[in-house]
Structure 1
Amino acid sequence: MTAPRLPLFLMLAGLLGLAGCATHQPVSLYQLDSGNPAQPAQSAGMAVLLGPVVVADYLQRETLLQRQDDGSLQGSVDGRWAGSLSSDINQLMLRQVAGHLDSQRVVLSPAPTSFSPDVQVLLTITRLDSGASQPAILDAQWRLIDRRGQVRDNRIVHLQEQHAGSTASQVQAQGVLLQRLAEQLSVTLKPLANQPPIAEAPRKQAPAPAKPAAPEKPKIPMASPIRTDMEVFRF
């Protein structure tokens, strides 16, 4: 009675195995493309402190998000970020800015205590996404603070890049947007390399110690003539 059922059981097990393989498709991992920035040669070039770089909360995840036609975001089913997207953005911007400025003195925040920057870049990434039928879009804002603590530039940037529709082309387009952002930022940074040095405040001289007062000499009463009513007669 049970023998005829054995092939049917094996068939069902095989179908379930195939279904399991179909649902566990390999997922591709992606990183942002930093392009081919020039290798900076100047060890004494412009000193730039890059950061803090703030990335929008919705990008703080491994899932590669896809922008839909209605504006909503959905996680990609065939792609993930290979690591931290924030770290990728930091490294891409660092390499690009250093290459454009030809300076080895571009560092990420927090900087070493001995590092004295010519300018600090406060960068915020508020949007970086794309979709199969949506272009890659980057929204960002930067503030440049010179060595005196004064804001030298404040700019809001909106960039857009078309792509072929595949996940790989979308990631490539997002990398291109960040490269363009770094190029625009570098153009704004270059004039700040020739800042005059900060003059040191003149040191106040310590007041000279007060000389001890000389002892007062005793006052001698002055003799005053004495007048009398007597008259002197001469003969």
Structure 2
Amino acid sequence: MTALRLPILWLAGLLGLAGCSMNQPVSLYQLDSGTPAQPAQSTGMAVLLGPVLIADYLQRETLLQRQPDGSLQAATDGRWAGSLSSDIDQLLLRQVAGHLDSQRVVLAPATQGFTPDVQVLLSITRLDSGKAQPAVLDAQWRLIDRRGKVRENRIVHLQEQHAGTTAAQVQAQGVLLQRLAEQLSVSLKPLANQPSVAAEVPRKAAPAPAKPVEKEKDKIPMALPIRTDMEVFRF
């Protein structure tokens, strides 16, 4: 009986160790939004932030690591705590509102009745890092004024060094997004004092009343004396 129990106990021990290794806790991470100022103006600049588009490879809970050869691998010691896209939206919203000191910064789609001074169309095509690779952010924005005119189109490339740990990488990515929001706010501020659309469109003068069309009257040709060279003789 003892000889039979040893292999069974040994197998159970191996399964237990395997189970422990598979159930190792994984750290969950969120982007650090920093300490943005609390906006005080309820009548500040009206900004519609979005749509904010992010690259397909970022739309997952997996925390990806950039390798020296440029490839991406899933991190084994951590993942995103929820939606990375939502974290990016909220970080940018708080940062831009703080820089502009305005409570009127909203995420797209806007509620009915909200008329923005500027709409920000933002696309983030890269946001990642690696143990030996810096955090990198590639983005592009377009600013649309209240008349629908593109006021600025800018492509941004930012980098941030870090200590190499997963936590340090996530912190560096948050810093990059904070710098993006700061640069975006600098571009937004000059568009705060736009004249209203009604003031820009000159009033058209009322059209002059059309003159009645006079009907051409039938004109009777005047009889003209006929002159001849003939002389009349009377006897």
1:3 shift after superposition: 3.6
1:206 shift after superposition: 8.8
Gaps in structure 2 of 5+ consecutive residues: 213-235
Structure 2: how far apart are the matches of 1:196 and 1:177? 33
Structure 1: how far apart are the matches of 2:192 and 2:8? 77
Matches within 5 A, 1:70-89: 70-89=69-88
1:17 shift after superposition: 0.5
Amino acid corresponding to residue 133 of structure 2 in structure 1: Q
Superimposed CA distance per residue, residues 138-195 of structure 1 (whole angstroms, 9 cap, x where no aligned partner): 0000000111111111100000000111111000000000000000000111011011
Structure 2: how far apart are the matches of 1:108 and 1:25? 38
Structure 2: how far apart are the matches of 1:129 and 1:29? 16
Q: How many residues align?
A: 211
Secondary structure of 2:158's counterpart equals strand
1:15 shift after superposition: 2.3
Superimposed CA distance per residue, residues 72-117 of structure 1 (whole angstroms, 9 cap, x where no aligned partner): 0011111111011111000000000000000000000000120111
The residue aligned with 1:66 is: 65
Matches within 5 A, 1:10-89: 10-89=9-88
The two structures, once aligned, show a CA RMSD in angstroms of 1.9
Whether 2:173 is the aligned partner of 1:177: answer no
Amino acid corresponding to residue 152 of structure 1 in structure 2: R
Structure 1: how far apart are the matches of 2:111 and 2:23? 46
Amino acid corresponding to residue 83 of structure 1 in structure 2: G
Structure 1: how far apart are the matches of 2:149 and 2:7? 79
Structure 2: how far apart are the matches of 1:175 and 1:167? 13
Structure 2: how far apart are the matches of 1:135 and 1:112? 39
The residue aligned with 2:115 is: 116
Amino acid corresponding to residue 117 of structure 1 in structure 2: P
Structure 2: how far apart are the matches of 1:97 and 1:193? 13
After superposing the two structures, state which structure 1 stretch, 37-46 or 189-198, moved more.
189-198
Moved over 2 A (4+): 199-211
The residue aligned with 1:141 is: 140
Structure 1: how far apart are the matches of 2:72 and 2:6? 46
Whether 2:96 is the aligned partner of 1:94: answer no
Amino acid corresponding to residue 23 of structure 1 in structure 2: M
Amino acid corresponding to residue 180 of structure 2 in structure 1: L
1:208 shift after superposition: 7.5
1:9 shift after superposition: 1.4
Structure 1: how far apart are the matches of 2:141 and 2:166? 28
Structure 2: how far apart are the matches of 1:103 and 1:33? 21
Gaps in structure 1 of 5+ consecutive residues: 212-235
The residue aligned with 2:203 is: 202
TM-score, length basis structure 1: 0.85
